[in-house]
Amino acid sequence: MYCPFCGAHQFKNCPKCKKETPKTSKFCTICGFKF
């Protein structure tokens, strides 16, 4: 997902569930998988 305010990509895809989760997070906000 592209952030229109800062122009950076704020999300990455979780390797386990493939859903978008915040890049700065240490775990997936959808499935709880730890990076």
30: tokens are 């959808």
The residue extents of the domains of the chain are 1-30
pLDDT for residue 1 is more than 80? no
Task: State the Cα–Cα distance between residues 6 and 27, nearest whole angstrom.
Answer: 23
% pLDDT > 70, the chain: 80
23: tokens are 């890049």
Q: What is the pLDDT of residues 15-24, one digit of tens each?
A: 999 999 988 8
Average pLDDT for 13-34: 94
Q: Which of 18, 27, 20 is nearest to 3 (CA)?
A: 20
pLDDT for residue 3 is more than 60? yes
Task: State the Cα–Cα distance between residues 10 and 13, nearest whole angstrom.
Answer: 11
pTM of the model: 0.67
